Amino acid sequence: MVFPSRLTVARVSCGAASLLYALAAGLPSALLISLLMEPALAQGSPALITPPVSPQDLLEDARQRLQLPDAFDGIDLDPTPEFDVYRLGPGDTLFVNVLRFPDLTFQNTIDLEGNLIVPLVGSLSLEGLTVPEARQQIRQALDRYVVDPQVDVILVAQRPVQVTVLGEVVRPGLYPLNAPQLSVALISAGGATTFADLRMIRVRRQLQNGKLIERDVDLFTPLQTAETLPDLQLADGDTIVIPTLTANEGYDRNLIARSTLAQPQINVRVLNYGTAARGGSLGAVQLPNGSTFADALTSISPDLSNADIRNIALIRFDVQQGKAITQELDGKKAILGDQSQNPLLEHNDVIIVGRTLVARITYALNTFTQPFRDILGFVLFFQSLANSASNLFSPAGSSGD
């Protein structure tokens, strides 16, 4: 199947999932509150919504949504020298040094028609040539006016390009780049998400003869070994695809989170019971990517006289399992340096402070987890809680501990 068709199918699937979650988020608040306020109902109660497909199908769908196919029709997947060759075009600025003839030395920019104005020669077409080929072209043109000219050509400024960035980045889309390097493209798109696999970034390019070529670039290994990144020079019209991580073995997501290639900021939702006077709070904090659970606690500053920081829940949507995972943490141990209680946070994590509140949310998650197809449903679930915050933090259940 041709690559764009797969992306089209993924967009349609994501659109259908968005509609499903929007409908779920619009359920009457009374129904949602009844679930949150009754954590003591019998275990094993049937789910309110029956998933239309099996959990195995959901997991496979999540894995396959942005995976790269092994081969594409009509595309050369083998490494090709064309990716290492820069071809000149409108907007490139060249410095031309002619030895023994300083009056012929000049610096100029290739115009919109692909021509460079050369002293004595006039307009000379250089579009599509490499720098060595341009040097030879200029030398031959000057050879009609001076004897055996010695010419050096330097690419002073490379023209801006437009590339398409797809897959596991914060803001997929079309981006103009003044510095056409792969790392710049990632940063322009908001950085790689926590689900990105930087071991096999795929760059697709169409040559002037219509041939499609591709190259896979590994940015993870150089980060791991403290080596220079292989910053591939991009060409106008390139498509960059960041695949979804499907195998964690040997892949350090924490390393990526702390690098400049990842999204710089993450959002963490906080449900804090707080004091009876304040009635609790439901909101979000923005933290630098690579922040830990203890960093979030410092930012939240829970009321220690009412909140039980020894029993805090961290809820995260696990893409591979296709469901929300709850981890109970001891905030005091985390602050004192216990690394087992101080995990690295991810974008869209949820922190719940208050033992009774943890029980209410856990019960609701157990009821609503199965319809979650991806992170969108997980996020919309907690957004829907904002409409019911007054009941959620009411003193009917218990105090904050």
DSSP string across 50-107:
--SS-HHHHHHHHHHTTPPPS--TTEE-S--GGGG--B--TT-EEEEEEET-GGG-EE
Q: Which pLDDT score, from 0 to 100, does residue 242 have? A: 95
What does the alpha-carbon distance between residue 235 and residue 86 come to, in Å, rounded to a whole number? 8
Structure tokens of 268? 């963490």
Q: Is the pLDDT of residue 260 over 50?
A: yes
Single out the residue of 192, 237, 189, 198 nearest to residue 217, CA to CA.
Answer: 198
| pLDDT (average), residues 74-94 | 76
Q: Which pLDDT score, from 0 to 100, does residue 357 have? A: 63
Per-residue confidence band for 400, with pLDDT thresholds at 50, 70 and 90:
very low
Per-residue confidence band for 142, with pLDDT thresholds at 50, 70 and 90:
very high
| pLDDT (average), residues 349-364 | 71
Q: Is the pLDDT of residue 349 over 90?
A: no
Q: 305 near 314, Cβ under 8 Å?
A: no
More confident residue, 226 or 80: 226
Average pLDDT, the chain: 75
CB neighbour burial string for 41-77, b if at least 16 within 10 angstroms, e if fewer: eeeeeeeeeeeeeeeeebbebbbebbebeeebeebeb
Q: Which pLDDT score, from 0 to 100, does residue 6 have? A: 43
Give 269-282 pLDDT, tens digit per residue: 887 765 434 445 56
Domains in the chain: ranges and CATH: 3-66+263-392 (3.10.560.10), 75-84+160-245 (3.10.560.10), 93-157 (3.30.1950.10)
Per-residue confidence band for 364, with pLDDT thresholds at 50, 70 and 90:
low
Share of the chain above pLDDT 90, in %: 31
More confident residue, 4 or 156: 156
Contacts of 44 (CB under 8 A, 6+ apart): none
Q: Which segment of 42-51, 222-231, 243-252, 291-300 scores lowest on mean pLDDT?
A: 42-51
Residue 271: CB atoms within 10 A of its CB come to 26
Structure tokens of 238? 């390139």
| pLDDT (average), residues 171-185 | 92
Q: Is the pLDDT of residue 363 over 70?
A: no
Q: Which segment of 87-96, 232-241, 302-311, 374-383 scores lowest on mean pLDDT?
A: 374-383
Q: 270 near 283, Cβ under 8 Å?
A: yes
Q: Which segment of 20-24, 165-169, 303-307, 363-367 scores lowest on mean pLDDT?
A: 20-24
Q: Which pLDDT score, from 0 to 100, does residue 40 have? A: 41
What does the alpha-carbon distance between residue 375 and residue 348 come to, in Å, rounded to a whole number? 8
Q: What are the φ and ψ backbone dihedral angles of 382, each rounded to 5 degrees?
A: -75, -25
Contacts of 202 (CB under 8 A, 6+ apart): 68, 214, 215, 216, 217, 240, 241, 243
Contacts of 88 (CB under 8 A, 6+ apart): 94, 110, 114, 126, 127, 128, 129, 130, 131, 134, 155
Give 152-173 pLDDT, tens digit per residue: 999 999 899 999 999 999 999 9
More confident residue, 27 or 368: 368
Write the DSSP symbol of residue 400. -
Is residue 390 exposed (0-12), middle (13-18) or buried (19+ Cβ within 10 Å)?
exposed
Q: Which pLDDT score, from 0 to 100, does residue 344 have? A: 87
Q: Which pLDDT score, from 0 to 100, does residue 370 have? A: 53
Q: Which pLDDT score, from 0 to 100, does residue 353 have? A: 81
| Alpha helices (H) along 118-252 | 131-142, 182-188, 220-225
More confident residue, 237 or 311: 237
Give 22-76 pLDDT, tens digit per residue: 444 444 444 444 444 444 444 444 433 344 444 445 445 544 554 444 444 455 5
Give 94-140 pLDDT, tens digit per residue: 999 999 999 999 999 999 999 999 999 999 999 999 999 999 999 99
Whole-model pTM above 0.75?
no
